[in-house]
Amino acid sequence: MKTLQFRQAIAEAMSEEMRNDESIYLMGEEVAEYNGAYKASKGMLDEFGPERVIDTPISELGFSGIGVGSTLVGNRPIIEFMTFNFALVGIDQIISNAAKIRQMSGGQFNCPIVFRGPTGSAGQLGATHSQAFESWFANCPGLKVVVPSNPADAKGLLKSSIRDNDPVIFMESEQMYGDKGEVPEGEYTIPLGVADIRREGTDVTIVSFGKIIKEADKAADELAKEGISCEIIDLRTVKPMDYEAILNSVKKTNRLVILEEAWPFGNVATEITFHVQKNAFDYLDAPIQKINTADTPAPYSPVLLAEWLPNHEDVINAVKKVLYK
């Protein structure tokens, strides 16, 4: 094992895949000369040159469309958005073209493309730069949605995403790029659609993904001091989702709390809740609790932002609620 920052794991995954396949290229704002807005492509321009690491104008619709079109002639692009908030400018290319090319061509064309960049809030960035769209993209047939929470998963999942023959939405976090973690030496991948049981427990299941899962870790540590054993499942992939891992855990613990940084209406937690009540209702000893942001745009005020975001105290309260404590 070696220790890498999250941004280094992302760069390693892209570089390793680009060395093995000349049809792969990286394109986006500041990915080349500036080494990436978050230094997640550091050194790649020097190694692969300007034809495969391509700086673009501030034109998400334009370079998203170029990327999608290039898949039709044999390329496998990685499109970086400085933030997925800006992906809304290019979302027509993602939803109307990338997600539908395979079906609309009668299977004649695949669209092997990765759209990657940070999602969710990252401090005081205001309402328009603090949005989480995992459930939006997961709602669209034809797209896969990946949200890693640590450097090792980021590298393994990104390599699998790049190799996938369908479009993948790969969502990171500005607040995770500096996170350090152990990453396996040598070649490895992590399959899409397989969750990680990052902490085993017996009293309650906590399901989460992305950077907000750290709040579940903090809560589990505090609850352990009170003799409460939490099992934490990191989805890693929102779509396809590992329902089996969730159901098996709920059948063991009989209680479920879902933690997600997203608006509360119609989100990933809602979908999980439906599947669990449909397939494991008789195993539940308490109603499912889901923890989300407030149902408002993200505030700029640090005091209000702290109230808006879910935190470990919210998780502790939800766990105690399902345990009737």
Give the distance, in angstroms, between the CA of residue 158 and the centroid of all CA atoms in the same chain: 10
- Helix axis angle for 151-163 and 6-20, nearest 10°, is 30
- 187 is annotated as an active-site residue: no
Distances from the Cα of 306 to the Cα of 30, 143, 292, 293, 311, angstroms: 31, 32, 13, 10, 8
The DSSP output letter for 90 is G
Q: Distance between CA 99 and CA 101 in Å, rounded?
A: 6
Catalytic residue among 129, 172, 174, 312: 129
Strand pairing category for 196-199 and 237-239:
unpaired
Q: Distance between CA 157 and CA 299 in Å, rounded?
A: 32
- 275 is annotated as an active-site residue: no
C-beta separation of 284 from 276 below 8 A: yes
3-class state of residue 125 by DSSP? coil
In the chain, where does DSSP find H-type helix?
A: 6-20, 44-48, 60-71, 91-92, 101-104, 134-138, 151-163, 213-224, 243-253, 268-279, 302-308, 312-322
C-beta separation of 141 from 99 below 8 A: yes
Give the pair of three-digit tokens for residue 243. Answer: 């329902």
Of the chain, the end-to-end C-alpha distance in Å amounts to: 41
Catalytic residue among 60, 80, 172, 261: 60
Exposure on the CB side of residue 181, measured as CA atoms within 13 A: 18
Q: Distance between CA 245 and CA 252 in Å, rounded?
A: 11
Catalytic residues: 60, 129
